[in-house]
Amino acid sequence: MAGTFYLVGVGPGDPDLITLKGVKILCNVDMVAFPQKPGGASLALKIASPHLHKNIEQMPIILPMEKSRQPAKDAYDQAALKIGEQLQAGISIAYLCEGDPFFYGSAMYLFSRLSHKYNVQIVPGISSLNAAAAAINRPLAARNEILKILPATLDDKTLLRELKNTEAAAIIKVGRHFDRVRKIITQSGHEKGAMVIEFASQPSQNIRAVSAVDEQELSYFSIILCYHGQEPWGQELWGEKDISQ
Amino acid sequence: MAGTFYLVGVGPGDPDLITLKGVKILCNVDMVAFPQKPGGASLALKIASPHLHKNIEQMPIILPMEKSRQPAKDAYDQAALKIGEQLQAGISIAYLCEGDPFFYGSAMYLFSRLSHKYNVQIVPGISSLNAAAAAINRPLAARNEILKILPATLDDKTLLRELKNTEAAAIIKVGRHFDRVRKIITQSGHEKGAMVIEFASQPSQNIRAVSAVDEQELSYFSIILCYHGQEPWGQELWGEKDISQ
């Protein structure tokens, strides 16, 4: 019988922010696979490692970091073949996903290649979005408010239109788009209270107001949370609090 | 010394979808508080109960389910007073929150009343959004796509505009708005592949295509996931799969 393939969300960084379900699966699978930068370490593996058997089999999936999609597609094709061979041999595998597997993750490219042939199970994880809100002690949205997730790679016109028409927004994958995005945030009226969160829940967690950030020192996986709705944390509450705590 | 107040996301329903951090806190606090409908049970307590000491002190917070905001405001005022008294006496309390405390939760109304006086800690949880995507085996969004969280209570014009301008959307709090929302989904071109998810990750989990739902039998906490982006799960993959599995 073929092994099961689990896509396990390991959460945003704090190893305790994985789910019980995730831990139970990590304790029972034969092998873990995980994304890894060429020549770099794997954050997903680092997050999961306190929960892994010391001698568990490891399959790093090296993912090229190029703008063109073809090299990544080739890498996923090859990875799916390798993973499929193991599953076929009855080996169960957990693929470690930063955050949540189905929230802008790359795990979906393995899912789409393997789910028609094998038993694939999704284990949701805490996304950086929820961890970022907890980090700045501010709700994402409430009641009848709209919340938009906007990749910073969107063009200026789209970003401005979408920010103008919302009470709450999370701008993701900010990195080298920061200066451009900050201008658009200001144009949209969202600058007040817009916060930049890097490495939410990790020891290197860093929280700053949008006005206090230099693009050069910003990491790719930073997130900006905007809120200008009518709830009290948009005004009194948030205005009173020391954001550095 | 005053006790700490924890807002603990207990996740969408499966007791194993709470985080390790949440479980550790539940094992160590002196008391749990939780929202409860008048005359009803508490879903948050039900989800957390496998992780609670048998004799832990319980403080139900009865929240009126009325359209007007004043009765709920009064209830939060009173609850904050009661919780504050306990914290002042050195008692640590975990408030159990369905899903994630800061994603359209009601816990924020306690946070805003207590965080300026007491040590309040947020423990993120898996939201129904992530659980719903896992339930239908379909990613929420990827790469440069926009994802919008749209409460069904929005007016027709706003809903239509926002749906037209996005690849992916989650419509929340659908319940009695379903028939109206379905029409708008169809107008926006999102009907194909729009899925209704009730009770994600719970034993009563129910997944249907939007076209197969009768509003009368739909629960308030249902969610509709829409996707018409360019990724393969929008077409080939999703078209092939049996959604009932």
| Contact residues for A30 (Cβ-Cβ < 8 A; gap 6+) | A3, A56, A57, A91, A92, A93
For residue B16, list chain A residues with Cβ-Cβ distance below 8 A: 19-21, 24
Residue B13 located in a structural domain: yes
Among all residues of chain A, which has the CA nearest to that of B141? Answer: A104
Q: Tell me the mean pLDDT in the region A137-143.
A: 93
Q: Which residue does chain A place closest to B113, by CA atoms? A: A237
* A157 and A190 assigned to the same domain: yes
Same domain, B46 and B96: yes
User: Looking at residue A230, what is its pLDDT?
Assistant: 77
Residue B140 predicted with pLDDT over 80: yes
The answer to whether B130 and B13 have CB atoms below 8 angstroms apart is: no
Q: Are residues A162 and A180 in the same domain?
A: yes
Split into its structural domains, chain A has a count of 2
- Residues of chain A in contact with residue B143, where contact means CB-CB under 8 angstroms, are 104, 151, 153
For residues A9-15, average pLDDT: 98
Q: How many residues does chain A have?
A: 245
Indicate whether A137 and A169 sit together in one domain: yes
pLDDT of residue B238: 47
Contacts of residue A29, Cβ cutoff 8 Å, sequence gap at least 6: A6, A56, A92, A93, A94
Contact criterion met (CB < 8 Å) for A149 and B147: yes
Residue B197 lies in a domain: yes
> pLDDT digit string (tens) for B52-102?
999 999 999 998 877 788 888 899 999 999 999 999 999 999 999 999 999
- Quote the minimal CA–CA distance from B236 to chain A in Å: 10
8 Å CB contact of B151 and A134:
no
Domain final residue, candidates B81, B106, B126? B126
Q: Which residues have C-beta within 8 Å of that of residue B54, sequence separation ≥ 6? A: none
- Reported as a pLDDT band with limits 50, 70 and 90, residue B245 is very low
ipTM of model: 0.94
pLDDT > 90 in chain A, percent: 79
Report the greatest alpha carbon distance in chain B: 60
Same domain, residue pair B138 and B109 = no
Sequence-ordered list of residues with C-beta below 8 angstroms from that of B198, at least 6 positions apart, any chain: B204, B205, B206, B207, B218, B219, B221, B222, B223
| CATH number, domain containing residue A216 | 3.30.950.10
Domain assignment present for B148: yes
Residues A62 and A81 in one domain: yes
pLDDT tens-digit map of B194-210 = 999 999 999 999 999 99
Whether A23 and A78 share a structural domain: yes
Determine whether the interchain pair A233/B112 forms a contact, defined as Cβ–Cβ distance below 8 Å: yes
Q: Same structural domain for residues A19 and A118?
A: yes
Q: pLDDT band at A233, cuts 50/70/90?
A: low
Same domain, A150 and A234: yes
Q: Is A126 in contact with A22 (CB distance < 8 Å)?
A: no
**What pLDDT score does B234 carry?**
55
Chain B: residue nearest A123 by CA?
B134
A154 and A102 assigned to the same domain? no
From chain B, pick out residues whose CB is under 8 angstroms from the CB of A151.
Answer: 143-146
Q: Does B82 touch chain A (CB under 8 A)?
A: no
pTM: 0.94
User: Of B126, B149, B175, which residue is a domain's last?
Assistant: B126
Reported as a single tens digit per residue, the pLDDT across B16-56 is: 999 999 999 999 999 999 999 898 899 999 999 999 999 99
pLDDT of residue B233: 64
pLDDT band at A193 (very low <50, low <70, confident <90, very high): confident
Same domain, A107 and A193: no
Q: Are residues B25 and B112 in the same domain?
A: yes
- Please give the residue range of the domain that contains residue B116: 5-126
B229 in contact with A, Cβ within 8 Å: no
Q: What is the DSSP letter of A193?
A: T
Contact: A144, B151; criterion CB under 8 Å = yes
**A 25-54: CB under 8 A from B:** none
Model confidence at B106: pLDDT above 90: no
Question: Is residue B216's pLDDT more than 90?
Answer: no
Distance CA B153, CA B237 (A): 32
pLDDT of res. A70: 87
Is residue B42 in a domain?
yes
In a domain, A67, yes or no: yes
Is the CB of residue A100 less than 8 Å away from at least one CB of chain B?
Answer: yes
Residue B245 covered by a domain: no
Q: Is B146 part of any domain?
A: yes
Nearest CB among A122, A140, A237 relative to B134 is that of A122
Domain boundary among B108, B126, B144: B126
In a domain, A245, yes or no: no
| Domain CATH code at residue A110 | 3.40.1010.10
